[in-house]
Structure formats: C-alpha cells, structure tokens
Structure 1
Amino acid sequence: MVTMPRFGPATRDALLAAALAVAALAVAVAWPGVRALDAAGAFLLLAAHAPLAVIRGRPTTALIALVVLVLPYHLLQYQHHALVPAEVIALFAYAVLGRRVRIVLGLVAFVLAVCVIGMAMRAGGASVREQIAVVEAVVSVVIAVQVWRSHRARVATITERAERAERTREEEARRRVAEERLRIARDLHDLLAHSITVIGVQAGAAAHLVAGDRPVERAELAEVLNAIAATCREARTELRGTLQVLRGTDVGGPAVLPGPDAIAGLAEAARSAGLEVALSADGAGAAPPEAGVAAYRIVQEALTNVVKHAAASRVTVTLAREDRGLVVRVADDGRGPSGAGPEGFGILGMIERARSVGGTLDAGPGEGGGFAVTAVLPFAGVRSGAEPVTPG
C-alpha cells in the first residue's frame, strides 16, 4: 500500500510559488517582449514569486515585498505578462487576508498601472496596447476582489442578523419558560402552603381535644373535622382550577380563578385555625380579574404567614378602593415579622404577585406592633408576567 504524503498549507504555498516561478521564467524566455531576459531579469522574476510562499501568514509584508521586486522588473522593460499571475494571486490573497484592503489594493494597482503604462508608452507601437491590456487585467482583478469582498461582507451581515434574531428568539423563549415556571411555583406555593398550614392547625386542635383531660363532645370534634374536610375540598377545587389553567383545558368545566369574593372563605379558614379575623372588602368589587386574583393570593399568603409564624390572636384584612387602585392590607397583633425566615418565599411571592399587575407591596412591622402587609394594585395598566425578584 502506497501512502501519499500530506503537505501542510505552508508547504503547498511554497510549491505553488515555485511552480508559478518556473512557468513565468519559461514564458519570459519564450516571448521576451521589449527586452530579452538576462540574469538580472531572471533574478527579479524568480524573487518576485518568493513572497507568495508566505502570503498566507504575512499578507501585508508579502505584498510589499512583491511590489518592491516587480517595480524594477517592469521599469527595466522585461516581459510584463510573465508576472501577471503572481500579481493577481498576491492581490487576491491580500484582499482575503489583509487589512485596510481598499486603500492598499488601490495604491498598489495605481503604482503598477502608472509603471506599466509609462514603460509601454516609452516602448511605443503595439506594445502600448499590450501593456494597457496587462494593466486592465490587474485592475479588473482588484475590482473583482472588491465586489467579492462586498458580497462576502453582506452575506456575513445577513448571517449575523439571522443568528442574532435566532438567539433573541431563544432568549425570549427561555425567558417565557422561566416566567411560567415562576408563576407555577408561586401558584402552587400559595395554594398548598395555605391549605396545609390551616389543615395542620385544625388537625392539631383536634388532637388536643382528643388528648385533653376533659371529655370530648362529639359535636365539637365533628366541627373540627368538618373544618378540615372543608379546607381539603377548597384546596382540591383550587388545585383543579390551577391545573386546568396550566394544561390549557376545560375538562370538568371552565377553570374559576379566585378573586376578592373568595377572600371571605380565607377569613373563615383562618377563624377555624383559632384567629379572630376582621374583614372589610367593600372596595374590591370593581377590581379587574388580574388585580382580583393578585389580591386573593396576597391575602391568602399573608394569612398563612400569620397562622404559621406570628402567634397572633387577631388579624385585620382590609380591601379598599382608592385613586391609585385597590389597596390590600393585612395587619396582625402578633410578634412579627411573620414569614420572614431566611428560607421562606412568602413575602417574596407576595411582592411578585403585586408586581405582576404593575403594583407595589410593603411588608414590615405595624404601627402598633405586630406585622402589616400593604399592597397597592392599580386598576389600569395591568400587565401580565411577573418580574423575578432577588431577595435582598
């Protein structure tokens, strides 16, 4: 088996330059033109091809060296056509690999044109037409290279724009996925955290009744268990509605999103957990659906935090309509701040809820003690999607 040798780019360039040099020497000897080729002319002709061997790595240096060598060759009136292939290759290679191509190629073409035309006019006769044809060939190559470069730049620009548009679409898709995941996580947190917390408190109350010293009345125990069952039913209904929204289906009937009207149920569940709840929701009736859902979820999370963390006995829930929108306030008399543990997402979720409809939310110690959550949800300019918030 015969293995053919493989040459690298530098070796191939050197072999090409040597082959062109031999061919140019043969042309100059066979058709001497104005002046027969002598030792000096042969040296200049062969030396002018040497820069082609390194033009890939050093295009500017190679082009300058070639111009320095071909100028005396042309000025001494040796065979002009023999150098045309080397000049064309050098110009084209520099156009592909070099910098400041227009200025350099224009200057080189001008110098060569002046040189060849001047020598042709000195020679006179038919040589003028021949040398002008040589200049035209060189200049044509320069123009063709410029057109090619412009086309390549235009194609590169179009490709870059297409890639940038594709990246933008991918980033937008990732952003929408992240927002959707955030919304799902927030909905499930609001729903499950509240229901599980209330059920836990109610179950604890039932266990306390059973384990207590006094006899347990069946009606009293049934009331606690019925409260647990009602909380489970409400959680199941909400979970079904949330899953229908996520799946985009209406199996089992259209999904009903909770709103201000359902806040009374939250207050009742908090009362069954042992809290005294004062509710005033007269100003929430005219709220748009987006603001109504946000108000419901904020009250739900705030009451969950009160039950879990505040050790409060009384909580006041107020929904009032003002010029700036629907103002939701949940204030307790507990130890505060509620739901502010380092691993908790309650306050963060409420802030995201308010921002999802263009509103704001403040949470902190109340004026008379305890903890207060105040959200302002505008009626106009509601926007969809929540902005992710980084906990401070």
Structure 2
Amino acid sequence: MLPFTGAVPGTPRAVRDDAVFAGALAVLSAVLAVFVEDGLRPDLLGWSLLLGAHVPLVWRRSSPLPVLVGVVALIAPYHAVDYTHMAAVPVGMVALYTVAVSGRPRRALITGILVVGVTMTVNASVAPHQVAEVLRISGWVVAVLLLGVYVRIHRQYVTSVLERAERAERTREEEARRRVAEERLRVARDLHDLLAHSITLVGVQTSVAAHVLTADPERLDRAAVAKALDDIADTCRSARGELRATLEVLREGTVEETRGPLPGLDGLADLAEAARTSGAEVDLAVREVEAPPAVGAAAYRIVQEALTNAVRHGGGGPGLTIRVGIRSEGPALRVTVVDDGPAAVQDPSHTPGFGLVGMRERARSVGGTLEAGPRPDGGFLVAAVLPLVPVGGLR
C-alpha cells in the first residue's frame, strides 16, 4: 500500500510506476495463494480472478473509484467461491487506500459504509456463521480507510507548511530588495545634496576670487582673495568629510553602524553661513522646535538643497536675498525657503536635475508634503510640511 509519490496522476510515468507496483503486488498475492491455507487452492478461474483484480491498479491514481469497483467486481466472486481469502486481501486494501488518500474524507466515509454494509449483508444471507470473520475484516477496511484519510491530511498539512515557508522566504527576499533599493536611493540623495551643495559653493567662491583678482590688478585686495580661498578650502574639507562618511556606508554595508548622527535643525546655521560666502544675504528664522531626528534630518536636507538651488539659479552673489523659516504648526513642522532671484525666468533649455525630486522624496519619507515653484512676483519658493511624528524616515 504505497502512498502516491513522485509522478503526477495520469502521466505516463505514474501509469508506469503503478504498473510495476501492481505486478509486485500480484506476485505477493500469488505467494499467499500458494502457501496460505485458509480456503481452496485457486484453479484456472481462481487465478484469473485473482491476477485480473490487479490489472485496474495500473490506473489507480487517475481513476481511484472505477479502479475500486473493478477490483471488487473480481475479488467478490473469488471470495464467494471460497478460494484462499488472504491472497485477495492486499489488492482490495490497496484499492480502498487509494480512494481514501486521493479524495475528501467524506468520500472515504461513504466508501467504507458501502463496502462494509454490502459485505456484511451478503455474508449474513449466504453464510451467517462467518459474521464474526466479516466483522474482523470490516475492522481492517475501516483501518485502511482511516490510514488513507490521515495520510491525505498529513500531506495537506506538510504542503501548507512548505507553501507558508516559501511565501515567507519570498517576503524576506522582497523586503531585502526593498531595503537595498531604499538604501541606494538614500545614498543617491545624500551624494546629490552633498556634491551639489559643495560644488555650487566652490563655484561661487571661485568666481568671487576671480573677480577680486581681475577687478583692479593695480590695487589687489589680498585679504579678500585670501578669504575667498579660505572659504573654498573650508567647503572642500566639509565636503570631503561628508563624502567619506557616505562612502563608508557603501563599503561596510551596515547602515546603522556607519551612518553616524543625522544632521538636524542645529546645523541650519552652518548652511546659512556657507551660503553667505557666495555673497547672498541669508535671513534664518528658526523657532525652537522639538523635532524627531528623522524629521530634523529631512528639514536640514530640504533647506540645504533649496539654498543650493537659490545660489545656483538665483544669480548667487550680492543682491540675492534668501529667507529661511522653520516653525511648528500644530503637529507639524513648516519649512519655507524663499529667494528673490530670477528663478522664474530660467532658461527653458535648462535640463532639470534631481533637486526638486529629492526634496519631495525627503518630505514623503517622513510622511510630509512639499511644494516648490516660482513666485508670481519673482524668485522661488520651497514650502514643506513635515509631521512631528514621522511615518518613517530615510536620511
């Protein structure tokens, strides 16, 4: 009574495997018919009925109920003639087991009731003295059916466990891919904010130094040139330090250990001072606000990118005014950066960068919103609303 294994029911491999199994079972039945004495030794008719009952087993996986009917139709007259009863037991039990293991428990119950009921009815009318023997056989029939039901339920349980494990593994893989994608996006934003901000300042400071050198060569303002070069050196040192920290994240692969403290609202003064080295006037108004680290970091990066854009596109230099405002509005932090530069009349051929996209992503990373665009009366406005209880934060 082998359970179904390997091949799919109905396939050539399944038929071949069941044919081999039926042949082996037929050999076993023949041995029992020869050596067990609990009835008449089979003659030609007996051997035909006994061995013929094994033929339907070749299709037991694809048609379990017709196979059971075919087996019963052959072994019933075999038992009725009183041939060796033990020889026909294995094939009958395999047919019963196949029905139970391949169908729902209800089908096994109905099959058991019919088989036991018909057997007891026929034997009670034909040979009442064998009722005890029929009851014993009925017990085996019930046991085989229960075994088939148990095997079916156990397989379903194992299959469900394997499927849950597979789904959990897929979920873990998807989560890992999502985290990798989020980390790549975070590093890309960090590199953009860092390099764009630093390169823009270096460019403006270099222009200032060049202007001082060429404005009046006869009366060279050495102090102004030295200050411009010092500003460039400070900007480069700061950029180098942040770039090193960002690259350590990529090299080590462990974000939490290498990220270091997140920038926050207390770093806005340094951003404003760096923007002032370009010649712009920066008005920083920051009210005392207790913001979570992720929200503070998002506000810092938004202000950094807004200042970079203002200096780059707003004609950075004397005459440019930038106003930065940070204040709480109920359960949210409001961030505004306004400049009076000519951002509203940018060159249409200018290729947009990732600055505005990055600022919106930073706002969304903590559950906030951001609006940015030119003002009707000139200049550019960046306004963000960040919840003080963040949904989640990417640096």
TM-score of Structure 1 vs Structure 2, range by shorter chain: 0.7 to 0.9
Q: Is 1:384 aligned with 2:387?
A: no
1:46-75 Cα deviation digits (max 9, x unpaired) = 332111122245445433433454456556
Q: Is 1:374 aligned with 2:374?
A: no
Q: Structure 1 stretch 69-78 or stretch 222-231: which is displaced more?
A: 69-78
Q: Which amino acid aligns with 2:359?
A: M
Q: Is 2:262–2:294's contact at 8 Å kept on the other side of the alignment?
A: no
Unpaired stretches in structure 2, ≥5 consecutive residues? 1-11
Q: Is 1:67–1:108's contact at 8 Å kept on the other side of the alignment?
A: no
Distance 2:374 2:80 in 1: 94
- Equivalent position SS for 1:368: coil
Distance 1:385 1:103 in 2: 55
In the alignment, what sits opposite 2:19?
14
Q: Structure 1 residues 248 and 323, CA, compared in 2 at 3 Å: closer, same or farther?
A: closer
Q: Is 1:344 aligned with 2:353?
A: yes
Match 2:235 to one of 225, 231, 238: 231
Q: Is 1:331–1:371's contact at 8 Å kept on the other side of the alignment?
A: yes
| Superposition map of 1:12-51 within 5 A | 12-21=17-26, 24=29, 42-51=47-56
In the alignment, what sits opposite 2:330?
323
Q: Structure 1 stretch 210-219 or stretch 333-342: which is displaced more?
A: 333-342
Match 2:143 to one of 135, 140, 159: 140
Q: Which amino acid aligns with 1:355?
A: R
Distance 1:342 1:65 in 2: 80
Q: Structure 1 residues 21 and 296, CA, compared in 2 at 3 Å: closer, same or farther?
A: closer
Q: Which amino acid aligns with 1:385?
A: G
Q: Is 2:97–2:147's contact at 8 Å kept on the other side of the alignment?
A: no
Distance 2:357 2:157 in 1: 49
Shift of residue 146, structure 1, vs aligned partner:
1.4
Shift of residue 328, structure 1, vs aligned partner:
0.9
Q: Structure 1 residues 125 and 281, CA, compared in 2 at 3 Å: closer, same or farther?
A: same
1:98-149 Cα deviation digits (max 9, x unpaired) = 3x33233323322221222123213435522223222222221111121222
Q: CA RMSD in A?
A: 3.7
Q: Is 1:335–1:369's contact at 8 Å kept on the other side of the alignment?
A: yes
Q: Is 1:324–1:376's contact at 8 Å kept on the other side of the alignment?
A: no
Q: Structure 1 residues 306 and 62, CA, compared in 2 at 3 Å: closer, same or farther?
A: farther
Q: Which amino acid aligns with 2:114?
A: V
Q: Structure 1 residues 184 and 337, CA, compared in 2 at 3 Å: closer, same or farther?
A: farther
Q: Is 1:191 aligned with 2:194?
A: yes
Count matched residues.
374
Shift of residue 351, structure 1, vs aligned partner:
1.6
Q: Structure 1 stretch 221-230 or stretch 155-164: which is displaced more?
A: 155-164
Q: Is 2:287–2:327's contact at 8 Å kept on the other side of the alignment?
A: yes
| Superposition map of 1:238-253 within 5 A | 238-239=242-243
Q: Structure 1 stretch 19-28 or stretch 123-132: which is displaced more?
A: 19-28
Q: Structure 1 stretch 204-213 or stretch 101-110: which is displaced more?
A: 204-213
Q: Structure 1 residues 30 and 224, CA, compared in 2 at 3 Å: closer, same or farther?
A: closer
Q: Which amino acid aligns with 1:136?
A: G
Q: Is 1:202–1:272's contact at 8 Å kept on the other side of the alignment?
A: yes
Distance 2:355 2:82 in 1: 91
Same amino acid, percent of matched pairs? 46
Q: Structure 1 residues 69 and 197, CA, compared in 2 at 3 Å: closer, same or farther?
A: farther
In the alignment, what sits opposite 1:176?
179
Distance 1:293 1:27 in 2: 84
Distance 1:209 1:223 in 2: 11
Q: Is 1:361–1:375's contact at 8 Å kept on the other side of the alignment?
A: yes
Q: Structure 1 stretch 259-268 or stretch 39-48: which is displaced more?
A: 39-48
1:297-356 Cα deviation digits (max 9, x unpaired) = 111011112233344633322222322432111122323488997662211221222233
In the alignment, what sits opposite 1:335?
343
1:259-307 Cα deviation digits (max 9, x unpaired) = 3233233223223224333x23232454444333222211101111223
In the alignment, what sits opposite 2:167?
164
Unpaired stretches in structure 1, ≥5 consecutive residues? 1-6, 388-392
Q: Structure 1 stretch 21-30 or stretch 370-379: which is displaced more?
A: 21-30
- Equivalent position SS for 1:364: strand
Q: Is 1:309–1:339's contact at 8 Å kept on the other side of the alignment?
A: no
Shift of residue 86, structure 1, vs aligned partner:
0.8
- Equivalent position SS for 1:86: helix
Q: Is 1:259 aligned with 2:268?
A: no
* TM-score (structure 1 length as normaliser): 0.79
Distance 1:8 1:378 in 2: 63
Q: Which amino acid aligns with 1:147?
A: Y
Shift of residue 177, structure 1, vs aligned partner:
3.4
In the alignment, what sits opposite 2:284?
280
Match 2:96 to one of 91, 97, 106: 91
Distance 2:191 2:331 in 1: 29
In the alignment, what sits opposite 1:298?
302
